[in-house]
């Protein structure tokens, strides 16, 4: 959700704080937002210089161009995704203290904001917005002034720590004060914040994209920690003021150009075409000289893996469908049960967890709040947690017992594409590692599957090269369809769900995905003449019964007038005979087919949304990283 940037640099006021904030916010646009704003501070200012506008970042940039902001020594910037108060200029961040000397930005939800607001109102404080953030701004101003009375000098860092101890809920807060124009302070609780380490300048961001154009050196900030940055210093403490000296540093393994379109019409189009590389990179470095699977990030003893007797995957949206695909493969290879649970439902059903249960938390951003809370519940119950994640330094891998990074590179478009295939690859590597340590597959069987996985980038590229025109024609033909049905069996079922989700997310079309066997149990009532039905057809090789069942489903909906699109293996005569349009895939093992089957469905959603004139990268009402429950 909200994007956050902070910068502290030269002690001489200049234009760089504004530049860093605006560039950082531009790189964070993918997180989803409805307004944007910045606050600047420099020596001699009486109040913080604040500018904020509802709508896109371009609105803010235009306003600043018409009426330039002053040079500064530090700055903070914010893109807001509304949780308290409608999108408007007034509700946009930053918010200021009663005297205007302090400005803050905030990501998350402060759950005791209304009580704090009432307390402050009884003391004479006034509020302009409907946000919980303004409550924090007024409270921070009050605490800061109290400290000045106590000590005779300002201490914004201590004021922020005191306030953090008073807040409940989830929050990342950054603040600046005209009385200390050389620092930016921040605090985090259940919401992301990372530090960027520069030369004579330092940065804060909700993720590394905020500052990767300026430095690749970064430092993790853990739960319930506060940070103070100046141009030449970074100090980290807990909320009680105790110094933290063991913060983990890391180097960002991609550069700013990776988060730019590079000539593509949209980030989503670019990221779909990066899927072969995402699969290839996720496989890199996972094998030793004997070609055995070597997962260095796990940090869990193989003997522990041998004792695992159940896996529970917790995830949301696209990540949960990747988990559903993995369930079929892991159960087949390892012969232990795998459950896939929506993370937001997990802890509310009192799940059965033991020390021999492995919970696998899948999240592209590593900050998905529902998944993070499921992870914490699992650890409280004594289970081990392994994270599959695409973002270094994020919260979920830090709090898990082990992590498998997907190395897909930054995914900017809100609708996930390349992360989906990379998550499947990572989950498959985990399954094969289990098979290796538990001896449920022979060594040559594991090598055969690994060879098939290593061949998948070329097969995905084949789909991109050969299906694009057919997909584009199908999108034009079905542009005005009011609804779609997606059907699949076995591993095709979660692919159907994911294909349906993509069309909902970016083309705003009512779409439902079903297991094909459910057709007669209700969904077939929705089929009327002209209704588009997309069917994932499994290969007939080795699974002829399953193939025939799905072909029967095509015949059933065709008999009722449906317009059918099949995703099928090259040369499948039944798909060619019964479907109106076929998106072909190259020959591959059934368990690996989701890696290619999903690609034309992603392209189809992209083409439909583009033809409708929608912003495919930033669909309405959606955020890239959902950091509140």
Q: Concatenated DSSP letters for 118-184?
A: HHHHHTT----SS-HHHHHHHHHHHHHHHHHHHHSS--HHHHHHHHHHH--EEEEEEEEETTSTT-E
**Whether the predicted pLDDT of 290 surpasses 80:** no
- Select which of 138, 142, 216, 624 is catalytic: 624
Cross-strand partners of 579:
none
Task: Please answer whether residues 267 and 241 qualify as being in contact, where contact means their C-beta atoms are separated by less than 8 angstroms.
Answer: no
Q: Is 545 exposed, middle or buried (0-12, 13-18, 19+ CB in 10 A)?
A: exposed
pLDDT in tens, 493-516: 999 999 999 999 999 999 999 999
Would you call 624 a catalytic residue per the annotation?
yes
CA 421, 424, 428, 429 dihedral sign is: positive
pLDDT in tens, 182-201: 999 999 998 889 999 999 99
Q: What is the pLDDT of residue 262?
A: 65
- For residues 146-171, average pLDDT: 96
Mean pLDDT score of the chain, rounded to an integer? Answer: 93
User: Can you tell me the distance from the alpha carbon of 186 to that of 184, in angstroms, rounded to the nearest whole number?
Assistant: 7
State how beta strands 169-177 and 184-189 pair.
antiparallel
Half-sphere exposure of 316 (CA within 13 A, CB side): 24
Q: Is 462 exposed, middle or buried (0-12, 13-18, 19+ CB in 10 A)?
A: middle
Q: What is the pLDDT of residue 195?
A: 97
129-133, 327-331, 344-348: which is most confident? 327-331
pLDDT in tens, 397-434: 989 999 999 988 888 899 999 999 999 999 999 999 99
Of the listed ranges 239-243, 297-301, 493-497, 571-575, the least confidently predicted one is: 297-301
Q: Which residues contact 484 (CB under 8 A, 6 or more apart)?
A: 478, 500, 503, 509, 510, 511, 512, 531, 532, 533, 534
Of the listed ranges 61-75, 290-304, 411-425, the least confidently predicted one is: 290-304
The more confident residue out of 618 and 101 is 101
- For residues 273-285, average pLDDT: 91
Q: What is the pLDDT of residue 109?
A: 83
Task: Please answer whether residues 499 and 534 qualify as being in contact, where contact means their C-beta atoms are separated by less than 8 angstroms.
Answer: yes
Q: What is the dihedral of CA 409, 413, 415, 419, to 10 degrees?
A: 0
Q: What is the pLDDT of residue 161?
A: 98
Match 């990747």 to its residue by tokens. 322
pLDDT band at 34 (very low <50, low <70, confident <90, very high): confident
Q: What is the pLDDT of residue 625?
A: 67
Phi, psi of 431 (to 5 degrees): -60, -45
Q: Is 536 exposed, middle or buried (0-12, 13-18, 19+ CB in 10 A)?
A: buried
Can you say whether residue 364 is alpha, beta or left, with left for phi > 0 and alpha for psi between -120 and 50 degrees?
alpha
State how beta strands 483-488 and 510-515 pair.
parallel
Q: What is the pLDDT of residue 301?
A: 87
Q: Which residues contact 284 (CB under 8 A, 6 or more apart)?
A: 407
CA angle 192, 194, 198 (to 5 degrees): 165
**Whether the predicted pLDDT of 61 surpasses 90:** yes
Q: What is the pLDDT of residue 628?
A: 61
Can you say whether residue 298 is alpha, beta or left, with left for phi > 0 and alpha for psi between -120 and 50 degrees?
alpha
**Whether the predicted pLDDT of 116 surpasses 80:** yes
If you ran DSSP here, which 8-state letter would residue 287 be given? B
Q: What is the pLDDT of residue 545?
A: 87
**Whether the predicted pLDDT of 256 surpasses 80:** no
User: Can you tell me the distance from the alpha carbon of 414 to that of 148, in angstroms, rounded to the nearest whole number?
Assistant: 44
- Select which of 2, 21, 316, 588 is catalytic: 2
Match 């025109």 to its residue by tokens. 469
List C-alpha distances in Å: 577 to 198, 538, 557, 581: 62, 15, 14, 10
Q: What is the pLDDT of residue 393?
A: 76
């Amino acid at each position: 959700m909200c994007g956050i940037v902070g910068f502290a640099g030269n002690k001489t006021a200049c234009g760089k704080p504004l530049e860093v904030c605006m560039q950082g916010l531009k790189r964070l646009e993918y997180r989803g937002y409805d307004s944007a704003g910045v606050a600047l501070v420099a020596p001699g200012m009486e109040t913080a210089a604040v500018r904020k506008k509802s709508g896109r970042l371009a609105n803010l940039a235009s306003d600043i161009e018409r009426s330039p902001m002053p040079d500064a020594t530090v700055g903070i910037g914010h893109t807001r995704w509304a949780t308290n108060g409608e999108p408007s200029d007034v509700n946009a961040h930053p918010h200021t203290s009663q005297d205007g000397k302090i400005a803050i930005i905030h990501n998350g939800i402060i759950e005791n904001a209304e009580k704090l607001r009432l307390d402050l109102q009884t003391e004479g404080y006034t509020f302009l917005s409907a946000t919980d953030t303004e409550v924090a701004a007024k409270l921070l101003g009050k605490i800061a002034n109290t400290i000045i009375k106590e000590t005779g000098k300002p201490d914004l860092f201590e004021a922020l720590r005191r306030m953090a101890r008073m807040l409940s809920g989830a929050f990342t807060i950054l603040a600046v004060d005209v009385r200390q124009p050389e620092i930016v302070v921040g605090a985090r609780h259940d919401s992301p914040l990372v530090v960027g380490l520069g030369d004579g300048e330092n940065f804060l961001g909700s993720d590394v994209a905020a500052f990767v154009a300026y430095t690749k050196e970064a430092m993790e900030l853990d739960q319930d920690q506060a940070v103070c940055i100046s141009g030449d210093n970074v100090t980290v403490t807990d909320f009680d003021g105790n110094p933290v000296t063991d913060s983990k540093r890391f180097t960002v393994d991609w550069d700013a150009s990776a988060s730019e379109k590079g000539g593509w019409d949209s980030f989503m189009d670019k990221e779909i075409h990066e899927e072969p590389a995402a699969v290839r990179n996720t496989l890199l470095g996972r094998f030793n000289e004997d070609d055995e699977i070597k997962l260095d990030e796990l940090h869990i003893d193989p003997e522990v893996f041998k004792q695992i007797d159940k896996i529970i995957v917790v995830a949301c949206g696209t990540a949960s469908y990747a988990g559903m695909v993995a369930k079929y493969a892991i159960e087949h290879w390892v012969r232990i049960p795998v459950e896939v649970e929506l993370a937001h439902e997990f802890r509310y059903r009192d799940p059965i967890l033991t020390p021999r249960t492995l919970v696998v938390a899948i999240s592209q951003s590593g900050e998905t709040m529902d998944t993070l809370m499921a992870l914490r519940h699992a650890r409280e119950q004594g289970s081990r947690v392994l994270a599959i994640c695409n973002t270094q330094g994020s919260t979920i891998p830090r709090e898990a017992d082990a992590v498998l990074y997907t190395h897909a590179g930054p995914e900017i478009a809100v609708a996930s594409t390349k992360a989906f295939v990379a998550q499947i690859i990572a989950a498959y590597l985990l399954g094969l590692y289990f098979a290796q340590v538990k001896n449920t597959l022979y060594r040559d069987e594991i090598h055969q599957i690994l060879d098939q996985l290593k061949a998948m980038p070329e097969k995905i590229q084949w789909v991109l090269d050969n299906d694009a025109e057919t997909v584009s024609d199908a999108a034009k033909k079905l542009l005005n369809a009011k609804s779609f049905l997606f059907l699949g069996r076995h591993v095709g079922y979660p692919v159907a769900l994911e294909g349906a989700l993509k069309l909902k997310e970016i083309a705003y079309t009512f779409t439902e995905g079903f297991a094909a066997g459910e057709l007669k149990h209700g969904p077939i009532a929705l089929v009327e003449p002209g209704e588009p039905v997309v069917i994932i057809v499994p290969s007939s090789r080795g699974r002829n019964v399953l193939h025939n069942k799905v072909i029967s489903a095509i015949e059933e909906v065709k008999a009722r007038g449906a317009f059918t699109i099949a995703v099928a293996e090259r040369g499948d005569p039944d798909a060619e005979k019964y479907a109106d349009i076929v998106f072909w895939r190259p020959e591959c093992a059934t368990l690996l087919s989701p890696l290619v089957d999903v690609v034309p469905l992603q392209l189809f959603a992209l083409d439909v949304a583009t033809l409708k004139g929608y912003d495919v990268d930033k669909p309405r009402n959606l955020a890239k990283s959902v950091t509140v429950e």
